[in-house]
Amino acid sequence: MSFSRRDILKLSGASLATLSLSGCATKEMDVEHPKKDKEFDIVLPKTSAPRVVVVGGGWSGLSLARQLKEEAPQSEVILVEQRFEFVSCPMSNLWLVDKIELEFLTHDYLQGARNGGYRYFQASAYGIDKKAKVLRTTNGDIEYDYLALAPGIEYDYSAWTDDPELIQRLKTEYPAAFMPGSEHITLRNKILNFKGGNFLFTVPKGNYRCLPAPYERACMVADYFKSKGIKAKVILLDENNDITIKEHGFHTAMDELYGEYLEYHPNAQIEEIDLDTKTVVTEFDEFTFDDASFYPRVRGAKLLEKLGFAKDTIYNKKEANIDPLTYEVIGEENIFVSGDARPMGFSKSGNTSNTEAKFVARLIARKINDKPKIPWETPVTLCISLVSIEPERGIFIHSEYAYNKKRGQFEFATPVTDEIWQGKHGQENAQTAYAWAKGMYVDMFGES
């Protein structure tokens, strides 16, 4: 089965190999129901309309809120998000090397709410009373009928160190920049102001956010140094035994385009980091660096653990403890989790989260409309990675997923890759990335 770029853009949805459901559930917190009038600071009076509160304004939460209003227009949908504006992680590697403007990545939550017919509520969620169906936030408590959590990831430095001082230094001095905001600004300034020497990046194990992104980033930065004539080298330390996705495309680009500008080291499990001497020790080697960005392993957002909805999985710590076919929290009715905090091994990427969230929205809408359940639908992983910026050339992967009942796990279904980046073909792939991003922003925020 083959896909043209036009076919791919009609589909929605970066990737992982075999996907298991195993893991150990954490003990769920049991919150006693206090008296509502005395204990709750209700800030949004409840109406007769069924209310769905969506926590998290990333790709999953935005897509879920908008789709839910389409599926159940009579519902009241409230999006709780702590940020004041949306900044996209997908496509941000291009901004890091000054190829696109920040405006391309930045979008308005208020616009999304207006166009989507839901309410944007700026706050951080921190607690829940399940019996009273009340979500606690920093700007007041909100009653709900249905709760959809899309809190995303957090970093997990425990494979490297348990020293809180070192962890804080890694976060502030050498941020990973895979959660949008200040991290990206810091890394961009590091790259654009780099004078020369070794610039070190890392690739974690597990199901980290956007599998191809660290390799794309390494290529983008190497290309930037090369184009500026900077005497610099990108050192990419990968905990995995090979490039985890689109390996042919990335390997050939690294070998043919970047030679002395990029070194790739697989099986590079970090055993020691000394930020004072700027030295990293792995099982087999020792590396010095002049600047760096350390991407650790990831875990589910700590909010899930606070609420008692987390478990350890074969991929990461403290991801959502949900039924993988219905996205409902185990032991709870009307509470769902979607997006990068899920325990299934689906790619933690924008398109995957977008398509998955639309299915979860349909599940919730079926409950609201008192209609029969629908069978599980696959999310769609579509990821286009650039391997050079002068000229722009790219590769892509498209895949859906299937549940193997015999093995009790999810697996790839009909994966399609295009790893030819050379010539006009690669340039067309790169342009497809821009068209995809623009289409997704319109899908989540509506027309300006």
What tens digit of pLDDT does each residue of 229-256 get?
999 999 999 999 999 999 999 999 999 9
What tens digit of pLDDT does each residue of 33-44 get?
444 445 889 999
What tens digit of pLDDT does each residue of 50-93 get?
999 999 999 999 999 999 999 999 999 999 999 999 999 999 99
Across 160-224, where does the E strand assignment appear?
197-203
Task: Please report the pLDDT score of residue 241 as a whole number.
Answer: 97
The residue with greater pLDDT, 207 or 35, is: 207
Task: Please report the pLDDT score of residue 448 as a whole number.
Answer: 59
pLDDT band at residue 27 under the 50/70/90 scheme: very low
Looking at CATH, the fold of the domain delimited by 156-299 is given as: FAD/NAD(P)-binding domain (3.50.50)
Give the Cα separation of 445 and 66 in Å (integer).
8
Question: DSSP secondary structure string, 98-114?
Answer: TSS-HHHHEE-HHHHHH
If you compute the radius of gyration of the chain from its CA atoms, what whole number of angstroms results? 22
pLDDT band at residue 2 under the 50/70/90 scheme: very low
How many alpha carbons fall within 13 Å on the CB side of residue 120?
A: 22
Give the Cα separation of 141 and 44 in Å (integer).
8
Res 279 pLDDT > 90 = yes
Task: Please report the pLDDT score of residue 323 as a whole number.
Answer: 96
How many alpha carbons fall within 13 Å on the CB side of residue 369?
A: 17
In what helix (H) or strand (E) does residue 183 lie, and over which residues does it extend? helix 182-192
- Count of CB atoms within 10 A of residue 82's CB? 14
CA dist 368 to 49, 130, 331, Å? 10, 18, 19
Task: Determine which of 20-34, 227-241, 253-267 has the lowest per-residue pLDDT on average.
Answer: 20-34
Task: Please report the pLDDT score of residue 38 as a whole number.
Answer: 52
pLDDT band at residue 447 under the 50/70/90 scheme: confident
SS3 122: strand
Give the Cα separation of 325 and 321 in Å (integer).
12
The percentage of residues in the chain with a pLDDT greater than 90, rounded to a whole number, is: 87
What tens digit of pLDDT does each residue of 332-373 get?
989 999 999 999 999 999 999 999 999 999 999 999 999 999
The residue with greater pLDDT, 362 or 32, is: 362
The percentage of residues in the chain with a pLDDT greater than 70, rounded to a whole number, is: 91
Residues of the chain with CATH 3.50.50.60: 20-152+301-377, 156-299
Residues ≥6 apart with Cβ < 8 Å to 295: 176, 177, 178, 201, 202, 203, 204, 208, 214
Sign of CA dihedral 201, 206, 208, 213: positive
Task: Please report the pLDDT score of residue 415 as a whole number.
Answer: 87
pLDDT band at residue 295 under the 50/70/90 scheme: very high
Angle at 345 between CA 4 and CA 56, to 5 degrees: 90
What tens digit of pLDDT does each residue of 131-166 get?
999 999 999 999 999 999 999 999 999 999 999 999
Average pLDDT over the chain, rounded to whole?
A: 92
Sign of CA dihedral 256, 257, 259, 263: negative
Res 21 pLDDT > 90 = no
Task: Please report the pLDDT score of residue 36 as a whole number.
Answer: 47
Domain 20-152+301-377 CATH (choose: 3.40.50.2300, 3.40.50.1370, 3.30.565.10, 3.50.50.60): 3.50.50.60
In what helix (H) or strand (E) does residue 357 lie, and over which residues does it extend? helix 350-368
Task: Please report the pLDDT score of residue 104 as a whole number.
Answer: 97
Q: Exposed e or buried b for every residue in 336-349, given b needs 16+ CB within 10 A?
A: bbbbbbbbbbbbbb
Task: Please report the pLDDT score of residue 405 as a whole number.
Answer: 83
What tens digit of pLDDT does each residue of 384-405 get?
999 999 899 999 999 999 988 8
Asked if residue 237 lies in contact with residue 282, where contact means CB atoms within 8 angstroms, the answer is yes
Mean pLDDT to the nearest integer, 169-193: 97
Task: Please report the pLDDT score of residue 418 as a whole number.
Answer: 95
